[in-house]
């Protein structure tokens, strides 16, 4: 049973090398994650995932029932991938720790994440914010003053977040 998978290093090769996932590799990984029922931790940092692969991957996060830790640090995600990630966070009920530092999310990415952390689910009768995420690293993302304000507002409403790195 695989409980943790670190995709940021090439096992048996140069430990400092990056994998630079291609589009097909990202799609294959996304399909595998949808089918996996045991993986709890996934490290994809420094893989140059980009916006298109990021969208493909984050769509699977909505379907994951076991993943609790995800590291997407330094992947050049782009706004569209961040919006998809925000939507996935809104729907996901298992993720506890998320690192999306150094992805140049900027203002719009910050606002999308802020919305995911505090909005009510439209199909529920009562407010149901993301209540599983306890650790979020957004450092080095050029969120700006307005992005910071949006996140501060949502974090003040989020009762589960215990560790936050802006």
Domain harbouring 30, CATH code: 3.80.10.10
Cα separation, 117 vs 128, whole angstroms: 10
Q: Quote the pLDDT of residue 117.
A: 76
For residues 50 and 22, the answer to whether their CB atoms sit within 8 Å is no
Element (H, E) at 5: strand 4-6
Q: Quote the pLDDT of residue 130.
A: 65
Low-confidence ranges of the chain (pLDDT < 70): 1-26, 119-130
Q: Quote the pLDDT of residue 136.
A: 92
Q: Which of 84, 142, 65 is nearest to 110 (CA)?
A: 142
Q: Quote the pLDDT of residue 97.
A: 94
Cα separation, 88 vs 84, whole angstroms: 6
Q: How many CB atoms lie within 10 A of CB 61?
A: 23
The residue segments making up the domain with residue 27 are: 4-165
Q: How many domains does the chain have?
A: 1
Cα separation, 164 vs 157, whole angstroms: 14
pTM for this predicted structure? 0.80
Q: Which residues pair with 137 in a beta bridge?
A: 99, 165
Q: Quote the pLDDT of residue 45.
A: 87
Cα separation, 112 vs 129, whole angstroms: 14
Q: Quote the pLDDT of residue 8.
A: 46
Helix residue spans in the chain (DSSP H): 23-35, 50-61, 78-91, 106-118, 144-157
Q: Quote the pLDDT of residue 135.
A: 93
For residues 94 and 66, the answer to whether their CB atoms sit within 8 Å is yes
């Amino acid at each position: 049973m695989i409980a943790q998978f670190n995709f940021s290093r090439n096992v048996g090769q140069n430990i400092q090398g990056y994998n630079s996932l291609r589009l097909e590799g990202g799609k294959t990984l996304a399909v595998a994650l949808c089918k996996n029922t045991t993986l709890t931790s996934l490290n994809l940092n420094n893989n140059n995932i980009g916006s298109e692969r990021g969208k493909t991957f984050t769509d699977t996060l909505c379907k994951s029932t076991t993943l609790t830790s995800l590291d997407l640090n330094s992947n050049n995600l782009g706004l569209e991938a961040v919006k998809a990630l925000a939507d996935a966070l809104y729907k996901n009920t298992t993720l506890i720790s998320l690192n999306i530092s150094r992805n140049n999310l900027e203002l719009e990415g910050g606002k999308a994440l802020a919305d995911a952390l505090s909005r009510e689910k439209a199909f529920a009768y009562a407010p149901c914010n993301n209540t599983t995420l306890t650790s979020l690293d957004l450092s080095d993302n050029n969120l700006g003053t307005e992005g910071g304000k949006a996140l501060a507002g949502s974090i003040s409403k989020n009762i589960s977040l215990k560790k936050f790195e802006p």
